[in-house]
Amino acid sequence: MRIPIFLLLLAACASCSNAGESASDSKTPVLRVATAANVQMAMSELADTFQHLHNIRIEPTVSSSGKLTAQIVEGAPYHLLLSANTKYPKTLLEKGAAVGRVKIYAQGKLVAWTLNAVDLYPDPNYLLDDRITKIAVANPKNAPYGAQAIRYLQHYGVHEKLEDKLVYGESIAQTNQYITTRAADLGITAMSVVLSPAMEGKGQWVELPEESYLPIEQGAVVTAFGQSDAAEASQLFFRFLSSPAAKRIFQRYGYRLPAEAPLLE
């Protein structure tokens, strides 16, 4: 039987990581969480807080929601998925690769961000200027933030005129790399990125009108592997995502919190 290459890589990484752990660390339970790239900045604080409360370590793997979902369907041993939308967690439920229900844990916001000398505006018509040649967005096929960035441009009727300027990142993380390395003049990314301690104060950004794109409702789900391998710990982290401590962290990173964190069938 062929073993998917990402499983071999995951095992190799785990082996390397374990070699450097102390005896005490190796005894700490670990949850592997497939994490949408926009949540990467907040995940460090979420993981630290959760481990302090429950002595369970969180090991995130960061990528686009679509790619993480495909990996889980193929058998990747992630205990939970934190997606940038509800579509992908629902897909896992439909395919029998997740259990229970989908929790909406936060709602994301879009910003335009640049480290260059570019004046930014909520209305994107300034992007038609010939002096702006590259605009970074996440791949809309795999990244929900990329899909909503395109919808934002379509809302103002400029998407077709800007198509030749768009540079697609594999995820929000790669989109941010294009922005921070100035490979693009500016990019459309998540507010959680520009408010993170690592990026706060770098360049300039402007929030994009929420009426110009669909609400970015971000969903979490416990995978079938999580239920079979570490059901109690997986459910504990799932509940933690709507706790007051987690909500405070999400708010610091610019997420909007649902009035009530709904559970979806």
Q: How confident is the model at residue 11 (pLDDT cuts 50, 70, 90)?
A: very low
Distances (CA, A) of 157 to 185, 221, 245: 21, 35, 41
**Residue 83 Rama label (left phi>0; alpha psi -120 to 50; beta):** beta
What is the pTM (predicted TM-score) of this model? Answer: 0.83
- What would the pLDDT profile of 42-75 be if each residue is shown by its tens digit? 999 999 999 999 999 999 999 999 999 999 999 9
Instruction: Tell how far CA 45 is from the center of its chain.
Output: 14
For 80, the 3-state DSSP assignment is: strand
Query: Which part of the chain has CATH 3.40.190.10?
Result: 27-108+216-264, 110-212
Q: What is the DSSP letter of 118?
A: -
Domain 27-108+216-264 has CATH 3.40.190.10: yes
3 pLDDT higher than 70: no
- What would the pLDDT profile of 87-114 be if each residue is shown by its tens digit? 999 999 999 999 999 999 999 999 999 9
Q: What is the CATH number of domain 110-212?
A: 3.40.190.10
Question: Is there a contact between 216 and 222 (Cβ–Cβ < 8 Å)?
Answer: no
